[in-house]
């Protein structure tokens, strides 16, 4: 994997783990997750005006926005039932395996050699992290989240290849997803509850929304430079950042098993850096 791609993916992983930490620590998680996407959509509008709408990828944008709407709901449901240190690694660990399998049937660029070793190390690490969790509540929602992640990454990997502007694609995607999320969340939670939650925590959601937007833009940029399977796997280093954030900010316990799992993930990233 080229150094530029690896750097972009690691930055994306840190940003992604940060906005998940904000969602988990919020009092109303579906509203928090949706608010961050909607705020990212608002931030993205000037980019669309400046860069132009990627009309060539319209079908992919619509399909991905639908899947990402389901992903936001599934993620919030998982965090309502389980710890960050359980949901995040299980969901994120499921996705690269499915994407790699997609490469075998032509849905993404196939990998070989060191790439498979890196994939095995990273996925083994995230699964090991999940097994260290004290509560396994929410496993179904976590696995569904992983399936939806793999689905939208495959869609977007194909979609971004049809436009020369990665960040215009990212901005349009957040705009479409935000439009779909607003009526869904109003229906499920009610306007009054949403107003209270957003008024109370709007600053942190604005920062996290920007992190979400930049994180996915960096991921799509990296997908231009390296196989999608490897890019998705490398972003799973976010589980290390999420584990550290859970320990530092949420008071979760970091066990020797979690340390060992983190070492596996770091080893996988090292293999990528050596040319997976």
Q: pLDDT band at residue 186, thresholds of 50, 70 and 90?
A: very high
- The mean pLDDT of 219-234, rounded to a whole number, is 79
Q: pLDDT band at residue 111, thresholds of 50, 70 and 90?
A: low
Q: Which residue, 32, 126, 41, is CA-closest to 87? A: 126
Q: Is the pLDDT confidence value at 183 over 90?
A: yes
Q: pLDDT band at residue 112, thresholds of 50, 70 and 90?
A: low
Percent of the chain whose predicted confidence (pLDDT) is above 70: 91
Q: Residue 237 carries which DSSP code?
A: G
- The mean pLDDT of 92-98, rounded to a whole number, is 74
Which of the pair, 52 or 62, is modelled with greater confidence? 62
Q: Is the pLDDT confidence value at 176 over 90?
A: yes
- Confidence at residue 180, expressed as pLDDT on a 0 to 100 scale: 95
- Confidence at residue 71, expressed as pLDDT on a 0 to 100 scale: 96
- The mean pLDDT of 180-198, rounded to a whole number, is 91
Q: Which helix (H) or strand (E) holds 229?
A: helix 228-234
Contact 140, 62 (CB under 8 A): no
Instruction: Return phi, psi of residue 90, to 5°.
Output: -70, -45
Task: Give the residue numbers spanning the domain of 50.
Answer: 3-273
Angstrom distance (rounded) from CA 158 to CA 173: 13
**Residue 264: which residues within 8 A CB-CB, separation 6 or more?**
121, 122, 124, 125, 128
Q: Is the pLDDT confidence value at 139 over 80?
A: yes
The per-residue pLDDT of the chain, averaged, comes to 84
- The mean pLDDT of 151-179, rounded to a whole number, is 89
- The mean pLDDT of 81-95, rounded to a whole number, is 81
- The mean pLDDT of 138-166, rounded to a whole number, is 88
Residue 236 tokens read as 């799973």
- Confidence at residue 103, expressed as pLDDT on a 0 to 100 scale: 64
Q: pLDDT band at residue 134, thresholds of 50, 70 and 90?
A: low
Q: What is the domain count for the chain?
A: 1
- Confidence at residue 63, expressed as pLDDT on a 0 to 100 scale: 97
- The mean pLDDT of 124-132, rounded to a whole number, is 79
**Residue 59: which residues within 8 A CB-CB, separation 6 or more?**
159
Q: Is the pLDDT confidence value at 235 over 90?
A: no
Angstrom distance (rounded) from CA 256 to CA 128: 11
Angstrom distance (rounded) from CA 174 to CA 214: 11
Q: Is the pLDDT confidence value at 38 over 80?
A: yes
Instruction: Name the residue with tokens 């705020």.
Output: 39
Q: Is the pLDDT confidence value at 126 over 90?
A: no
């Amino acid at each position: 994997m080229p150094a530029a791609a690896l750097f972009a993916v690691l930055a994306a992983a840190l940003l992604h783990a940060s906005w998940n930490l904000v969602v988990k620590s919020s009092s109303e998680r579906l509203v928090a997750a949706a608010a961050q996407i909607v705020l990212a959509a608002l931030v993205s509008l000037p980019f669309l005006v400046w860069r132009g709408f990627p009309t060539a990828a319209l079908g992919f944008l619509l399909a991905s926005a639908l899947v990402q709407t389901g992903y936001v709901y599934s993620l919030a449901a998982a965090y309502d039932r389980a710890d960050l240190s359980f949901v995040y690694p299980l969901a994120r660990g499921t996705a690269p395996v499915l994407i790699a399998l997609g490469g075998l049937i032509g849905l993404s660029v196939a990998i070989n050699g060191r790439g498979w070793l890196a994939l095995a190390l990273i996925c083994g690490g995230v699964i090991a992290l999940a097994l260290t969790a004290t509560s396994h509540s929410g496993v179904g929602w976590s696995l569904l989240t992983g399936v939806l992640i793999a689905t939208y990454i495959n869609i977007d990997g194909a979609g971004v290849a049809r436009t020369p502007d990665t960040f215009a694609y990212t901005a349009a995607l957040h705009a479409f997803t935000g439009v779909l999320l607003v009526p869904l969340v109003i229906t499920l939670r009610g306007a009054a509850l949403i107003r209270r939650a957003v008024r109370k925590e709007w600053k942190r959601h604005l920062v996290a929304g920007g992190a979400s937007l930049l994180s996915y833009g960096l991921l799509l940029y990296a997908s231009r430079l390296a196989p999608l399977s490897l890019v998705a796997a490398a972003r799973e280093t976010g589980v290390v950042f999420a584990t550290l954030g859970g320990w530092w900010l949420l008071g979760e316990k970091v066990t020797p098993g979690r340390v060992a799992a983190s070492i596996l993930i770091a080893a996988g990233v090292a293999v990528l850096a050596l040319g997976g």
